[in-house]
Amino acid sequence: MILGKKLIVIMPAYNAEKTLRQTYEELPHDYVDEVILVDDASRDETSRVARELGIRTIIHTENRGYGGNQKTCYREALSHGADIVVMVHPDYQYSPKLVSAMASMIASGHYDVVLGSRILGGGALKGGMPLYKYIANRFLTLVENIALGVKLSEYHTGFRAFTREVLETLPLEENSDDFVFDSEMLVQTVYFGFRIGELSCPTRYFKEASSINFRRSVKYGFGVLGSIVKFLAGKWGLKESSILRSGGRKLQTDDKAAS
């Protein structure tokens, strides 16, 4: 725990057999109460490795997509009594050692959401991020900062921490099951008035690290712009999207905190 708050790490996994063990071993286990991995119908031995490590493992029999995987992750974390949830990709692209630092920023009461930024400190290019992805990241982040009225170094990191309140408040079931889920979630975070903090996080790009190809990157980019349009339409009273509706579908959980 951190300051009396239960910390659960979630891992949305797909073909992470080669990197899962190293990612798990570098977690700050003195502070992490539980690790939950959701295997999105991997074609390798991800689930076997996870169980060998003693990780609570849920398996999707059919691939539900990155966003669909996260929905299951958050439902499970809430069901098991999490006060703070940190998402760590099991591909070892982000540093697991920073989990306690991110969770502490939330436990302090200063932030509701914390992002591990690859841009602060110049970590993205140093870590091998492809130039076209870096340029797209900077462009989309500029547009998002202007449209959303906040100032973040990047919106596209997969290393994120949330309070229980955030996950229970946002209508996450309305979000896409694809990669644009991440963008929609931050748009919701801003729209509902939650506080976002950042810390610098080194990153690594290598063969085994997950990364979407150019075609899917383009699709993601247009999806991000679409989420911005939904935000502005809702803010200006033109049209309220389901992802921004307070009465939208929220995560449904079973209380397993005592299990």
- In order of their start, the domains of the chain are 7-239 (3.90.550.10)
Strands 196-200 and 113-117, bridge-based pairing: parallel
Is the pLDDT assigned to residue 183 strictly greater than 60? yes
Cα–Cα distances in angstroms (integers) from residue 160 to residues 34, 96, 112, in the given order? 16, 11, 11
Q: Can you give the pLDDT at residue 259?
A: 37
Minimal CA–CA distance to 145: which of 198, 66, 93?
198
CB 51 within 8 A of CB 57: yes
Minimal CA–CA distance to 81: which of 157, 189, 139, 5?
5
Q: What is the mean pLDDT of the chain?
A: 93
Report, as an integer, the average pLDDT of 234-243: 95
pLDDT per position as a tens digit, 55-101 = 999 999 999 999 999 999 999 999 999 999 999 999 999 999 999 99
Mark residue 169 as left, alpha or beta (left: phi above 0; alpha: psi -120 to 50; beta: remaining).
alpha
Residue 229: which H helix or E strand, with range? helix 214-235
CB 31 within 8 A of CB 3: no
Report, as an integer, the average pLDDT of 120-143: 86
Is the pLDDT assigned to residue 137 strictly greater than 70? yes
pLDDT per position as a tens digit, 160-172 = 999 999 999 999 9
Q: Can you give the pLDDT at residue 258?
A: 40
Tokens read off for 142:
């500029």
Q: Can you give the pLDDT at residue 44?
A: 96
CB 68 within 8 A of CB 42: no
pLDDT per position as a tens digit, 30-42 = 999 999 999 999 9
